């Protein structure tokens, strides 16, 4: 739904009257402030699924701010980030649901130490978390780089807010990864092993992401 809304903004804004700066500023500040607020909420979030949801909302703040400027680089970055984060966020939700099916809880406290018994799932967690942090040379990084460049050209002061938002994104993503994969495994849990269909599901998320990263001009 977030990506559908972002795509709607991209299609509707060009047919609207040209927006002046007085109209852009309130929406731009809401979008940029939303990045920081959702990141701060994610840092103190005990619910795994809610943490991933707040991560999606924070990334969409970048998309909205880029589409409001209406430049080629901004629209390209917004489209790249929506496609990349659509795959990354979906993979994280799949991983969260796999943990929930085994522990019947979304609390991070009960999910810690999973890499001891699910080493391959831990590898999927690491790949999804690194793409969520927009680590180079992933397509997430390309999208964020285009958006940050567009925002800085529009107003140099926006680099302060986006830098804080990027740092907080890395912080809560690492917090999520360490909370689910490291630590002492809770006692009394009987956890079934991962199935082939689960690995296939995650591979179908990550393979397109890697292919687009290797050949991004397919989207441009």
Domain ranges of the chain: 1-14+28-219
Ramachandran bin of 216, using left for φ above 0, alpha for ψ from -120 to 50, beta for the remaining angles: alpha
Residue 47, SS3 per DSSP: strand
- A 10 A CB-CB count for 78 gives 27
Rounded to 10°, the helix 21-43/158-181 angle is: 20
Per-residue tens of pLDDT for the chain, all 220 residues: 888 888 888 888 877 766 656 777 888 889 899 899 998 998 888 888 999 999 888 889 899 998 988 888 989 899 999 999 999 999 999 999 988 888 888 888 777 777 777 888 889 999 999 999 988 888 889 999 999 999 999 888 888 999 999 899 999 999 888 888 887 776 566 677 788 898 999 999 999 988 888 887 776 6
> Which residues are 107's β-sheet partners?
47
- Phi, psi at residue 105, to the nearest 5°? -150, 145
Rounded to 10°, the helix 139-154/196-214 angle is: 50
For residue 89, give both structure tokens: 């966020």
Q: How far is CA 117 from CA 4, 114, 121, 124, in A?
A: 38, 6, 9, 14
**Residue the block writes with tokens 């402030």:** 33
Whole-structure pTM value = 0.88
């Amino acid at each position: 739904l977030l990506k559908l809304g972002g795509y709607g903004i991209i299609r509707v804004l060009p047919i609207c009257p040209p927006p002046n700066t007085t109209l852009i500023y309130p929406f731009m500040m809401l979008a940029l402030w939303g990045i920081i607020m959702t990141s701060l909420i994610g840092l103190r979030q005990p619910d795994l699924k809610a943490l991933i949801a707040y991560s999606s909302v924070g990334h969409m703040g970048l998309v909205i701010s880029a589409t409001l400027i209406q430049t080629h680089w901004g629209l390209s970055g917004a489209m790249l980030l929506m496609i990349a984060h659509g795959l990354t966020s979906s993979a994280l939700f799949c991983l969260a649901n796999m943990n929930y099916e085994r522990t019947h809880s979304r609390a991070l406290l009960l999910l810690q130490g999973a890499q001891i018994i699910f080493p391959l799932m831990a590898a999927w967690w690491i790949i999804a978390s690194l793409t969520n942090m927009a680590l180079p040379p992933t397509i997430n990084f390309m999208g964020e780089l285009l958006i940050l460049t567009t925002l800085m050209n529009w107003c140099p002061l926006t680099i302060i807010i986006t830098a804080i938002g990027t740092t907080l994104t890395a912080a809560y993503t690492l917090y999520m990864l360490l909370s689910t994969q490291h630590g002492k495994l809770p006692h009394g849990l009987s956890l079934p092993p991962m199935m082939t269909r689960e690995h296939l599901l995650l591979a179908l998320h990550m393979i397109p992401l890697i292919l687009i990263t290797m050949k991004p001009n397919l989207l441009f």
